[in-house]
Amino acid sequence: MAGDDGLKFGDLGARAAHLCVDAQRLFAEKTDWHTPWLSRILPNLERLCAAHAARTVFTRFVPPRTAQEAEGTWQRYYERWSGMTLKALGPEMIELVPELTRFTPPGRIVDKRAYSPWMGPELGEALARDGIDTLVVTGGETDVCVLATVMGAVDRGYRVIVACDGVCSSADPTYDAMMFLYHSRFGTQIETAPTAEILDAWPAPDSPTR
């Protein structure tokens, strides 16, 4: 699989968390932003959530109610994607996909209005309270919100692990391009590995010590 570079820096410990990016109905269902790959990676998201529900944070992308309520160039963006405003979609569409709602609680939800979840203080403060230093990133899309999430985490000094079979894009070329970028430009700061390898290196809290 493209992006399977492996865990180069050892096992994950008690200070790791799972950051699941925008696994929501507005991307899973037949909307203008439908991401077909989401259904393919969903079993791996469930596996990570089941093993570490209390250490999972879900981000949700929340559009404005109307384009006119958006700021700056986001207003032009939502004029282009008028069918993706909350008024057009209905507020229920920002919810997590049904398969993941059972993990909240104990999993937490952080809402955001932009690609990056780091624009507001909530995510950073929650991770700091738990002493988190490592983030396993899943969700979509690899070349948009996942990218913004990953780069913000790198800037803040987290160990960043992208689950290569737990992230999705709308097209194979952009997924492959992002994995190449992670390897060629950020190889000392971003690791990519399949879900099975991540789970093997990050036992569930009630698993016997290896």
The pLDDT tens digits for 41-90 are 999 999 999 999 999 999 999 999 999 999 999 999 999 999 999 999 99
The range of the structural domain enclosing residue 163 comes to: 16-62+93-201
Q: What percent of the chain has pLDDT over 90?
A: 88
Residue 154 is assigned to a structural domain of this protein: yes
Quick check: 58 and 109 in contact, CB under 8 A?
Answer: yes
Pairing of strands 159-168, 108-112: unpaired
d(C-alpha 50, C-alpha 6), whole Å: 22
Q: Average pLDDT of the chain?
A: 94
Tally of domains in the chain: 1
Entry field: residues in the chain? 210
Q: Which amino acid is at 145?
A: C
**The tokens of 103 are what?**
């993990």
Q: What percent of the chain has pLDDT over 70?
A: 96
pTM of the model: 0.94
| Confidence label for 183 from pLDDT (cuts 50, 70 and 90) | confident
Q: What is the distance of C-alpha 31 from the center of its chain?
A: 19
Give the pLDDT confidence score for residue 170 in this predicted structure: 86
pLDDT digits (tens, 9 = 90+) for 105-144: 999 999 999 999 999 999 999 999 999 999 999 999 999 9
Residue 170 is assigned to a structural domain of this protein: yes
Residue 116 is assigned to a structural domain of this protein: yes
Q: What is the CATH number of the domain that holds 38?
A: 3.40.50.850
Does an H or E element contain 60, and which?
strand 56-61
Beta bridge partners of residue 108, listed in sequence order: 57
Residue 3 is assigned to a structural domain of this protein: no
Residue 179 is assigned to a structural domain of this protein: yes
